[in-house]
């Protein structure tokens, strides 16, 4: 006789604070994560993650905040395949999708599984979408939890159009290619009113800001948010002509931290 | 002699739960809002809002959760001008911007001011961006706070591309116009890999779902999330051909609640 098949587990999308890797004192997790998110995360013992080390650090903070269901060393933490990291995650490849299904084996055996990235919401400007697709394909319940999303904090703080916006990720690093891409995005923003949202790795933030000021039309609005949700967070928004005129706008802007750049009309 | 000018107040962007207007038991606010958001909101006494009635209800719940600085009836709650409501907020009009500056008078007198919408994050798929622009123009600090954003919960849960996505708001109601717009957005999604995100007023959700199934390519992926962050939340994602074949996907989908629709490749 076969045993009754186990009830499938769910896939929870677990947001993490935006302070990873930054030289700030780590505040208690409940500063940025609401009770429901902490409660669900605290009872999970199976994780799929961008980076196991940062997930262990997250679990230690979770333990300190609300306690966890099993000691950190006893939890099952599996990293996403390297190919899924950053920029390369989404393209649906037979191999990637098969790997993603394998990662979800614990859920088929009845365990709830948490998907996390290094900071913020998994699968948004971060890897994880292949696992979410695989979960739907396997008939698992997919439940996203509330937490900080730097892109949306920056958008709300920008004063730019929040009824029509696009996140386009990274622009090319090479100067002429980057200029072409920025002008293409600006033409779209001016024509349709769609706010354009970009990110960059922190050590290239200053170069991107200079490129934006150099290439955008003086009457376009440019906004920059740094260190979102953290004590030192700054959001500034002005016309490009004002950014060029006023040193107050660029002074003391912590561009060495994760930043979000937005522009439009 | 003139008095020392008062230190300007800040503009806080205060997210609210996504359960407004729905027939669910109102859970404690700390279910969805983290401690930092509750702490800041609880000490504000000046508000700019889409709807004063819903803001008073929010303040009562805030009082029950963490206490508030002044009785609800003693707080200063000002509604956004009608013209700023929904769809019509962003276009920069001299008059609208002047009105927005007027709303921020309390901040110039030293009071911190909270901007709220009826549900979710102000100025994202909701009015408020004119006030945020005005705040930057007046040199006020603008601080967005963490809370639920239905668009991002739905995007993470969709398994669609989260490295390149666009929120395009509402599509036309008239059938031929709507079909044309959906096909235009799908062509963009297939060409660039950019996930397209739509919303609709709840009583038209079913018609929009039918139009999506009718007009999108069978190999496109379609995702629908309803009642995000609430106990009855559901997220489903499959190829259009699978949606058409399987009644399990559409059955018991609570389309009478606020929903987010997403599609792409």
Chain B residues whose CB is inside 8 A of the A151 CB are 152
pLDDT of B1 reads 47
Instruction: Give the Cβ contact number of residue B72 at 10 Å.
Output: 15
- Say which of B34, B164, B235 has its CB closest to residue A32: B34
Each residue of A211-228: pLDDT tens digit? 999 999 999 999 999 999
Burial of A254 (0-12, 13-18, 19+ CB in 10 A): middle
Q: How far is A3 from chain B (nearest CA, A)?
A: 25
φ, ψ of residue B261 in degrees (nearest 5): -115, 135
CA distance A82 to B51: 48
What's this model's pTM, rounded to 2 decimal places?
0.94
Mutation target among A50, A116, A156 for the B interface, most CBs of B within 10 A: A156
pLDDT of A193 reads 96
pLDDT of A20 reads 67
Strands A221-226 and A259-264: antiparallel
Q: Could you tell me if B203 and A201 are in contact, meaning their C-beta atoms sit under 8 angstroms apart?
A: no
Chain A residues whose CB is inside 8 A of the B85 CB are none
Residue of chain B minimizing CA distance to A160: B129
Cβ distance of A144 and B162 shorter than 8 Å: no
Q: Could you tell me if A159 and B129 are in contact, meaning their C-beta atoms sit under 8 angstroms apart?
A: yes
Q: Is residue A27 part of a domain?
A: yes
Strands B165-169 and B195-199: parallel
Q: Could you tell me if B73 and B31 are in contact, meaning their C-beta atoms sit under 8 angstroms apart?
A: no
Read off the pLDDT of each residue in B96-108 and give the average, rounded to a whole number.
90
Q: Are residues A92 and A29 in the same domain?
A: yes
Instruction: Give the Cβ contact number of residue B67 at 10 Å.
Output: 10
Read off the CATH number of the domain in which A22 is found.
3.40.1010.10
Q: Could you tell me if A149 and A121 are in contact, meaning their C-beta atoms sit under 8 angstroms apart?
A: yes
Q: Is residue B170 part of a domain?
A: yes
Alpha helices by DSSP H, listed for chain B, are 35-42, 52-66, 94-103, 105-108, 129-137, 150-158, 175-192, 205-215, 240-245, 247-250
Count residue pairs from A and B with Cβ separation < 8 A. Answer: 185
pLDDT of B254 reads 92
Q: Are residues A158 and A215 in the same domain?
A: yes
pLDDT of B27 reads 78
pLDDT of B97 reads 79
pLDDT of A27 reads 78
- Say which of B124, B130, B133 has its CB closest to residue A237: B133
- Say which of A121, A156, A165 has its CB closest to residue B122: A156
Q: Are residues A19 and A104 in the same domain?
A: yes
Q: Is residue B6 part of a domain?
A: no
CA distance B235 to B115: 29
What DSSP designation does B120 have? B
Collect the ranges in chain A with pLDDT lower than 70.
1-6, 20-26, 83-95
Chain A residues whose CB is inside 8 A of the B168 CB are 164, 194
3-state secondary structure chain A: CCCCCCCCCCEEECCECCCCCCCCCCCCHHHCCCHHHHHHHHCCCEEEECCHHHHHHHHHHHHHHHCCCCCHHHCEEEECCHHHCHHHCCCCCHHHHHHHHHHCHHHHCCCCEEEECCCECCCCCCCCHHHHHHHHHCCCCEEECCCCCHHHHHHHHHCCCCCCEEEEECCCCCHHHHHHHHHHHHHHHHHHCCEEEEECCHHHHHHHHHHHHHHCCCCCEEEEEECCCCCCCEEEEEEHHHHHHCHHHHCCCCCCCCEEEEEEC
- Say which of A151, A152, A159 has its CB closest to residue B129: A159
How many Cα neighbours within 13 Å face the side chain of B121? 32
- Say which of A123, A153, A160 has its CB closest to residue B144: A153
Return the sign of the alpha-carbon dihedral for residues A165, B199, B241, A11: positive
Q: Is residue B238 part of a domain?
A: yes
Q: Is the pLDDT of residue B191 over 50?
A: yes
Answer with the one of B119, B144, B169 that is the final residue of a domain. B144
- Tell me the residue range of the domain where B213 lies: 150-264
Q: Are residues A168 and A232 in the same domain?
A: yes
Q: Are residues B119 and B18 in the same domain?
A: yes
Q: How far is B163 from chain A (nearest CA, A)?
A: 5
Q: Could you tell me if B152 and B18 are in contact, meaning their C-beta atoms sit under 8 angstroms apart?
A: no
Q: Is residue A24 part of a domain?
A: yes
Mutation target among A10, A66, A83, A146 for the B interface, most CBs of B within 10 A: A146
Question: Does residue A135 come out as left (phi exceeding 0), alpha (psi in the -120 to 50 range) or beta?
Answer: alpha
Q: Are residues B95 and B159 in the same domain?
A: no
Task: Collapse the DSSP code of B17 into the 3-class scheme (helix H, G, I; strand E, B; otherwise coil) and give the result.
Answer: coil
Answer with the one of B144, B161, B178 that is the final residue of a domain. B144
Each residue of A67-90: pLDDT tens digit? 999 999 999 999 998 765 544 455
Q: Could you tell me if B155 and B262 are in contact, meaning their C-beta atoms sit under 8 angstroms apart?
A: yes
Q: How far is A70 from chain B (nearest CA, A)?
A: 23
Q: Is the pLDDT of residue B3 over 80?
A: no
Residue of chain A minimizing CA distance to B192: A168
Chain A residues whose CB is inside 8 A of the B123 CB are 155-156, 159, 162
Q: Is residue A23 part of a domain?
A: yes
pLDDT of B192 reads 96
Answer with the one of B144, B165, B182 that is the final residue of a domain. B144
pLDDT of B253 reads 93
Q: Is residue A95 part of a domain?
A: yes
Q: How far is B161 from chain A (nearest CA, A)?
A: 6
Cβ distance of A193 and B90 shorter than 8 Å: yes
A41-50, B91-100, B123-132: segment of lowest average pLDDT: B91-100
Q: Is residue B5 part of a domain?
A: no
Q: Are residues A95 and A197 in the same domain?
A: no
Q: Are residues B16 and B92 in the same domain?
A: yes
Q: How many domains, chain B?
A: 2
Q: Are residues A101 and A209 in the same domain?
A: no
Of residues B188 and A85, more confidently modeled: B188
Q: Are residues B159 and B45 in the same domain?
A: no
CA A265 to chain CA centroid, Å, is: 25
Chain A residues whose CB is inside 8 A of the B146 CB are 32, 147-148, 153, 229
- Say which of A34, A154, A165 has its CB closest to residue B166: A165
Q: Are residues B136 and B82 in the same domain?
A: yes
Q: Are residues A89 and A177 in the same domain?
A: no
Read off the pLDDT of each residue in B221-230 and give the average, rounded to a whole number.
95
Cβ distance of A142 and B89 shorter than 8 Å: no
Read off the CATH number of the domain in which B202 is found.
3.30.950.10
């Amino acid at each position: 006789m076969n045993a009754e098949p186990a009830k499938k587990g769910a896939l929870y999308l677990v947001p993490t604070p935006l302070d990873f890797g930054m030289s700030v004192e780590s505040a208690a997790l409940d500063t940025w994560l609401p009770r429901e998110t902490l409660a669900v995360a605290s009872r999970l013992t199976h994780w799929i993650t961008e980076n196991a080390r940062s997930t262990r650090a997250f679990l230690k903070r979770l333990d300190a905040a609300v306690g966890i269901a099993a000691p950190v060393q006893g939890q099952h933490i599996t990293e996403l395949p390297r190919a899924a990291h950053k920029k390369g995650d989404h393209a649906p490849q037979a191999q990637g999708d098969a790997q993603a299904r394998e990662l979800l084996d614990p859920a088929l055996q009845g365990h709830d599984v948490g998907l996390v990235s290094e900071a913020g919401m998994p699968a948004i400007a971060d890897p994880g979408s292949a696992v979410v697709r695989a979960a739907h394909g396997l008939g698992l319940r997919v439940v996203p939890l509330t937490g900080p999303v730097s892109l949306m904090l920056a958008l709300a703080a920008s004063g730019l159009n929040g009824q029509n916006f696009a996140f386009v990720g990274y622009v090319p690093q090479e100067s002429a290619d980057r200029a072409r891409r920025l002008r293409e995005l600006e033409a779209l923003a001016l024509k349709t009113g769609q706010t354009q949202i970009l990110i960059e790795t922190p050590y290239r933030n200053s170069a991107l800001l200079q490129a934006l000021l150099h290439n955008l039309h003086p009457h376009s609005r440019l906004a920059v948010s740094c260190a979102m949700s953290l004590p030192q967070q700054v959001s500034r928004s002005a016309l490009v002509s004002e950014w060029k005129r006023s040193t107050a706008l660029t002074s003391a802007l912590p561009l060495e931290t994760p930043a979000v750049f937005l522009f439009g009309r």
